[in-house]
Structure 1
Amino acid sequence: MSKREKIIVFLMVLSLVYGFYVFYIEAPAKKGTVEKNSKLESLNKFISHIANLTRESLSEIDSYIIEKAPKQWDKDPLLSSDTKFQFKAENTEAALSALEVNIKYTGYLKMGAKNIAILNGLEYEEGEELENSGFIIRKIFPDQVIIEIKGKRKEITIPLEEI
C-alpha cells in the first residue's frame, strides 16, 4: 500500500470513529435530557393555553354548570321507586289469546292482488274462516296476520314465525 492510500484509509477510519462517538455516545446523553425537558415544557404550555382559552370562552351559564356538576344533588331527577314499574298494554288479552289459540303463521304469498297466508300448514286468503277453530282472517301482512274471533269483534295479531 502506498503512502497516499495509508493516509486516505487513516482519515476514513478516523471519520468513522468520530461519527460513532457523535451519534452513539454523545447524542443520547444530550437528547434524553433535552427532549424530556422540551416535551414537558411544550406540554405545560399547551395545557395552560387550553385552560386560558376555556376560561375566556365560557359563558356564565357554562361556568355555573361546571361548578355545580360535581356537587351532590338534593333531588335525583331519575325515577326512584320501591314499586315495580309495568307498562300497560292495550291488547294484553289479545296477546294472551294469540298464545292460547296455538295458530302458527309460517308463510306469506302474494299472487297478483291476493295475499295468501300459511297458517298451521294450510293456505288461507283474507275473509276465510280457519278450519275447525272459529276464527276469521281479517288482514294478511308479510310479517303478521290479524284474525278475529267469529261472532266477537276481538282481533288477535299473529306474527310470522320464521323456521
Structure 2
Amino acid sequence: MSKRESILLIVMGVGLLIGAYYYLFANQQDIGTDAKVNYQELNSTVDMVKGLANKDEFTEVERYKLELAETKWPSNPFYDREKFARQDQRQEKAELQSAEGLNLAYTGYVVMGDRELAIINGFEYERGEEIVTAEGYFVSTITKENVIIGQKNATEEIVEERVIPITEDPLNLYN
C-alpha cells in the first residue's frame, strides 16, 4: 500500500470514529414533554389566515382570469397533425382510388441512431406508419434515393406499391 493510500485510510477511519461518536453519544439531550405551546397565538394565526382567505380583494383583471380559467375549452389546444391533415384532405375531396392520383413528395431522409425517417409532404414517417395525407397508404421501405409506399386491403394484404423518388427543393435546401 502506498503512502497516499494509507493516509487516506487513516483520515477516513478518523472521520468514521468522529461520526460514530456524534451519532451514538453526543446530542443526547432530553427534550421531554415540557415544551409549551401557546394555543392562543396559534388560534389567532389560524383566524388571521382564514380572514385573509375569505376576503374578496380580487381586482377586475384577476376576476376575469378566474372566469376564463373556469370556462370549458372549445377544442384541444395541442396540435394534432393527423386530425388537421385529414381535415385538409377532406376539404380537397381527393378520391384516393389509386396511388397514381396521389400528390406525394419525398423531400427528406433522416437517420437518428437506428431509426430511419422519411419526410413526405412535410411530415416525418417511420417504416410501417400510415401516411396522413393519403388514407390507407403506409410507408413500406425507406432508402436515401426513394421511398416505397403500399396500400393494404381489408384482409391486410398489400395490393399496391409505389416508388417515390427523392426530390430536393433547391430554394429550401439550406433553410
Q: TM-score, normalised by structure 2?
A: 0.36
Larger helix share, 1 or 2: 1
Q: TM-score, normalised by structure 1?
A: 0.39
